[in-house]
């Protein structure tokens, strides 16, 4: 039986992915802050939570993140930027997944295909940025993309069958996006989960280090 580890399994997308995988007969392990006390920005917490698990896991997905932290909305202008808000975004959306990846590698097989996927966002694309704004969130997701890309190069040497990718789920109807849904077409979390898992199913080691959207199309860096 395949095994999957979902980080952020109590959130909208994470919960839907876990449920969809369970429905397929996959053995799912979920970890989250609200249920398990996992704090992805605290390396001691990450090391303890992942150190208590036994692998291997065929799929590890990091679905944590936030668009607003501590009541700080995405900036409409550089004039709205503050150091604390920007640091909060970078720590949660980039450092957190990096710490998970650092400590989860020992739980992933070397002799067969496995996938590590972190939820990124199209607004983290530098090449696709035509509107500006949202500086801290964009920068955090761009940093996450670089973390994924760089780690994939390294992991291809030790885990040659592994796929390490960043995924854009689209705009999903969750508490994460509730204040921004009027601006974009959106999908239910269950549909987003099915879309993302379909993309994951089709990925090969040749595509490791990539950035893909919910339809499997590459997103510009």
pLDDT value at position 21? 98
Strand ordering across the sheet containing 3-7: 27-31, 3-7, 59-62, 114-119, 162-168, 211-213
**3-class DSSP state of 18:** helix
- Residue 193 CA to residue 196 CA, distance in Å, equals 5
Instruction: Note the residue count of the chain.
Output: 221
**pLDDT tens string 97-134:** 999 999 999 999 999 999 999 999 999 999 999 999 99
**Tokens 């989960």 — which residue?**
193
The CATH class of 3-213 is alpha beta
Mean pLDDT of 83-107: 98
How far lies 204's CA from each of 126, 168, 210, 216, in Å?
Answer: 25, 18, 11, 12
**3-class DSSP state of 185:** coil
**pLDDT tens string 146-200:** 999 999 999 999 999 999 999 999 988 766 555 665 666 778 999 999 999 999 9
Mean pLDDT for all residues in the chain: 94
Q: Are 93 and 40 in contact (CB under 8 A)?
A: no
Question: Is residue 201 scored above 60 in pLDDT?
Answer: yes
What are the residue boundaries of the structural domains of the chain, listed by start?
A: 3-213
**pLDDT tens string 59-81:** 999 999 999 999 999 999 999 99
pLDDT value at position 112? 97
Residue 220: partners with Cβ closer than 8 Å, 6 or more residues away:
125, 126, 127, 128, 211
pLDDT value at position 186? 76
pLDDT value at position 31? 98
**3-class DSSP state of 135:** helix
Q: 137: closest CA among 214, 211, 73?
A: 73
Mean pLDDT of 6-13: 96
3-state helix, strand, coil in the chain (%, to 5): 45, 15, 35
């Amino acid at each position: 039986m395949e095994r999957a580890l979902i980080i952020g399994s109590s959130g909208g997308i994470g919960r839907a992915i876990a449920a969809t995988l369970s429905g397929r007969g996959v053995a799912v392990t979920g970890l989250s802050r609200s249920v398990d006390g996992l704090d992805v920005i605290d390396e001691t917490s990450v090391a303890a939570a992942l150190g208590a698990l036994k692998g291997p896991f065929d799929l590890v997905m990091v679905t944590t993140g936030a668009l607003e932290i501590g009541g700080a909305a995405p900036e409409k202008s550089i004039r709205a930027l503050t150091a604390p808000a920007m640091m909060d975004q970078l720590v949660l959306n980039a450092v957190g997944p990096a710490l998970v990846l650092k400590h989860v590698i020992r739980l992933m097989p070397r002799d067969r295909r496995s996938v590590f996927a972190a939820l990124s966002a199209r607004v983290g694309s530098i090449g696709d940025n035509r509107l500006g704004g949202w500086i801290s969130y964009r920068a955090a997701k761009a940093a996450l993309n670089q973390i994924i890309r760089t780690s994939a190069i390294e992991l291809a040497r030790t885990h040659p069958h592994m796929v390490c990718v960043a995924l854009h789920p689209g705009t999903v109807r969750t508490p994460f996006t509730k204040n921004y849904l009027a601006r974009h077409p959106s999908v239910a979390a269950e549909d987003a989960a099915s879309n993302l898992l379909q993309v994951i199913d089709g990925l090969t080691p040749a595509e490791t280090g990539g950035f893909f959207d919910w339809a499997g199309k590459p997103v510009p860096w």
